[in-house]
Amino acid sequence: IANLMTRRIIKITEKITLMSDGVLDETLEISGNDEIAKMAEAFNVMAEKLASIENQRIQFVSDASHELKTPLSSIKLMSDSILQNPDIPKEQIHEFLCDINNEADRLNRIVNKLLNITKIDTQLEKVESNSFSFNSGCSIKLYLISSKLFSSSPPKSNIDT
């Protein structure tokens, strides 16, 4: 019996080591109804939640990158148009500069939202470590809140991007 218990603990330890190295899709086969089986079940629940949070993090970074790239592309297109066209009418230059200014403001709003999300996340981590333990639903809810920050439709530019 001791050898069986030791093998099961070694398996759990191996999976924990893999997870600490970034392999988040590891699970354990659960056999029995003892404390080690309960530990393996808890490990599997934790692994599932970590994988879900990692997928949400990847999606968030992708969404944030896209939100930053769009105004940068507009700014690049309009500034290139001004620089490459020496005979561009003054009115069009003014229009492009207004659009560039609007896109810069949009970038500033996006960056401020990202900074606010970081502040909220940091404050939640402090509360979590000082007072009580949040369940993983809080991370998911924070992600959903941050997703909504980026879901509002961006201001229209006079230039198609």
Q: How far apart are CA 23 and CA 140, in angstroms?
A: 20
Return the pLDDT at 128.
52
Q: How far apart are CA 12 and CA 56, in angstroms?
A: 26
pTM of the entire predicted model = 0.57
Q: Which stretch of DSSP H or E encloses residue 7? A: helix 2-20
Mean pLDDT of 58-64: 88
Return the pLDDT at 1.
64
Mean pLDDT of 88-94: 93
Return the pLDDT at 121.
67
